[in-house]
Structure 1
Amino acid sequence: MTVGGPGSIPRLCAPVTAVGVVGPSMSPTLRHGDAVLVRRGGRPVRPGDVVVAVFRSRPELLVVKRAIRRQDDGWWLRGDNEFGTDDSRAYGVADVLGRVVFRYWPRPGRLPVSI
Structure 2
Amino acid sequence: MPEAVRERGAGRGRRGPVGKFGLAEVYNPSMVPTLRPGDHLVVQYGAAVRPGDVVVVRHPFRQDLLIVKRAVERRDGGWWVRGDNPYVVNDSREFGAVPDELVIARARVRVRSPRGIQRSPLGVVAWALSAVRPLRADRSVSRRLRAR
Residue identity matched to 1:21: V
Cα root mean square deviation, aligned:
1.8
Identity %: 41
Q: Name the CA distance, whole Å, in 2 between partners of 1:102 and 1:11.
A: 16
**Greater relative CO, 1 or 2 (CA 8 Å, sep 6+):** 1
Other-structure match for 2:111: 104
Q: Name the CA distance, whole Å, in 2 between partners of 1:91 and 1:12.
A: 25
**Structure that is richer in strand per residue:** 1
Moved over 2 A (4+): 9-14, 55-58
Q: CA deviation at 1:90?
A: 0.8
Greater radius of gyration (CA): 2
**Aligned pairs, number:** 110
Other-structure match for 2:42: 37
> 3-state SS of the aligned residue for 2:63?
strand
**CA distance 1:55–1:110, change in 2 (3 Å):** same
Other-structure match for 1:27: 32
Q: Name the CA distance, whole Å, in 2 between partners of 1:3 and 1:80.
A: 16
Unaligned runs of 5+ in 1: none
Residue identity matched to 1:59: Q
Unaligned runs of 5+ in 2: 14-19, 114-130, 143-148
> What is the TM-score with the length of structure 1 in the denominator?
0.84
Q: CA deviation at 1:69?
A: 1.2
Q: Name the CA distance, whole Å, in 1 between partners of 2:89 and 2:28.
A: 9
Q: Per-residue CA shift, 1:25-65, capped at 9, x if unaligned?
A: 000000000011110134x2000000000132221221000
**Structure that is richer in helix per residue:** 2
